Amino acid sequence: MAAGHGLDWPALFATRAERMKASEIRELLKLLDQPDVISFAGGIPDPALFPAEEFGAALTAALSGDTKGAALQYSVSEGYRPLREWLVTRMASLGVTCTADNIVITSGSQQALDYLGKLFLSKGDTALVGWPTYLGALQAFNAYEPNYDRLTPLANRPAADYRETAAAKGGAVKFAYASADFANPTGETLSESARSSILDLATELDIAVIEDAAYQSLRYDGDEIPPLLALDIARTGSIEASRTIYCGSFSKTLAPGLRVGWVCAAKPVISKLVLIKQAADLHSATLNQMAIHTVASRGFEAQLAKIRDSYRARRDAILAALDRHMPDGVTWTRPNGGMYVWVTLPEGFDGAALLAESLKTERVAFVPGRAFFADGSGANTIRLSFSCASEAMIDEGIKRLGRVIGRG
Ligand SMILES: Cc1ncc(COP(=O)(O)O)c(C=O)c1O
């Protein structure tokens, strides 16, 4: 190779690297730093709502007295036992009876998605996902070179059809992935019958269900609907007999920077995830798990009440602003929780082109919807996140967005 030229790296990379592409969302996060841009782009919590003082006290306590050695030491891959015990109680409050052996702590629920891809997907297998679905899940699964087929709760095709489609592509259907509450990107919640229909299909196909519960605690109104895992246990009699793998996270409720999430599932799944974790990163940061445990056990419900009040007001503000400022022909979801409103523009609109125009002329950012579709459709959709903007900024931002769409 001639001096001055780098290696042909792509020729050395594994085939799985071909499907690893930069996320539009990560690129867009850079825009949040520009003060004159009103951003509905990043789906991140408002840092003003983090329980920073409580974490300060918890970290100081963990690093003093009897616990300081353990806080800084290697620990078990399953996760910090008191945190897993606290989660047993939390899961019980959601209708899930389990023990600490049904729980492994992960570095955010994103790590759980990667590990589950690694555990279930051989190259060419099929994962069932929504059109659209969480982009980070597609990115995590893509590394394992799967095919995707479309999950449409309440309107699924016959099981045999899914099975034959997967076989024709050289693999088997392994799991259905769904966010039951306030999904990213749509903000939508699955009704109890939609949840049942996913469990019905999964039972017929004899596959796992991955329940992404990242936003589960962020309900602003309406009645709680039992998680897929709770409905599954109600059918089968116990978590050991259930097929649902629940991925939880403290990112949207306490602090994403600490990277603490969990998986709750039947023991054979947890045991394998523990082995995967051992090989990948040994364990999640002990100090972070201790701090999360202290802050959660002292005031999880109070923290939830605080963030729900703030986000509810912003959700109300964005829906009112959309009603006021959107031109005819534009439709959007009306979420009962979470951080997102999903907007569908008239046919012919392209969300990515609209973003470029919107940034140039109106200084408003959002996420074009196409990246959330495993089949590359959805060009005329955009995702708005209301979690980080003040109510006044929301109205101004949606007014500007209405203008740029109106100019079409
Ligand atoms: C639906 C969904 N799942 C999982 C995650 C990953 O979150 P974390 O790894 O911080 O738990 C996110 C983050 O935005 C998300 O929106």
pLDDT of residue 59: 97
pLDDT tens, 1-14? 455 679 999 999 99
Of 69-83, 291-305, 331-345, 350-364, give the lowest mean pLDDT range.
350-364
Q: Which residue type does 85 have?
A: E
Does residue 22 carry a pLDDT above 80?
no
C-alpha 71 chain-centroid distance: 28
pLDDT band at 42 (very low <50, low <70, confident <90, very high): confident
What number is the average pLDDT over the span 316-338?
Answer: 98
Please give the structure tokens belonging to residue 247.
């991925």
Ligand 1 atom closest to the Cα of residue 251 is: 10
Does residue 387 carry a pLDDT above 80?
yes
pLDDT of residue 21: 75
Secondary structure of residue 22 in the 3-state scheme: coil
Q: Contact 334/89 with Cβ under 8 angstroms?
A: no
Residues with Cβ within 8 Å of 159's Cβ and at least 6 positions away in sequence, in order, are 201, 204, 205
Does residue 29 carry a pLDDT above 60?
no
Does residue 93 carry a pLDDT above 90?
yes
What number is the average pLDDT over the span 185-214?
Answer: 98
Q: How far is the CA of 161 from the centre of ligand 1 (A)?
A: 31
Ligand 1 atom closest to the Cα of residue 250 is: 11
pLDDT of residue 166: 98
Q: DSSP letter for 72, please.
A: H
Report the share of the chain in percent with pLDDT over 70: 96
Q: Which residues of 240-249 are buried (b: 16+ CB within 10 A; e: fewer)?
A: eebbbbbbbb
pLDDT band at 23 (very low <50, low <70, confident <90, very high): low
CA distances, 93 to each of 89, 155, 244 (Å): 6, 31, 17
Does residue 243 carry a pLDDT above 60?
yes
Pocket of ligand 1 (CB under 6 A): 43, 108-110, 134, 136, 179, 184, 212, 214, 249, 251, 256, 261
pLDDT band at 66 (very low <50, low <70, confident <90, very high): confident
Report the share of the chain in percent with pLDDT over 90: 89
The CA radius of gyration of the chain, in Å to the nearest whole number, is 22
Which of 129, 135, 184 for mutating ligand 1's site (highest number of atoms within 8 Å of CB)?
Answer: 184
User: What pTM does this model have?
Assistant: 0.96
Q: What is the C-alpha to C-alpha distance for residues 53 and 30, in angstroms, rounded to an integer?
A: 27
Q: How far is the CA of 248 from the centre of ligand 1 (A)?
A: 9
Does residue 24 carry a pLDDT above 80?
no
Please give the structure tokens belonging to residue 158.
């016959």
pLDDT band at 226 (very low <50, low <70, confident <90, very high): very high
Q: How far is the CA of 164 from the centre of ligand 1 (A)?
A: 32
Which of 104, 141, 212 for mutating ligand 1's site (highest number of atoms within 8 Å of CB)?
Answer: 212
Residues with Cβ within 8 Å of 370's Cβ and at least 6 positions away in sequence, in order, are 351, 352, 376, 377, 378, 379, 381
Query: Mean pLDDT in the chain?
Result: 95
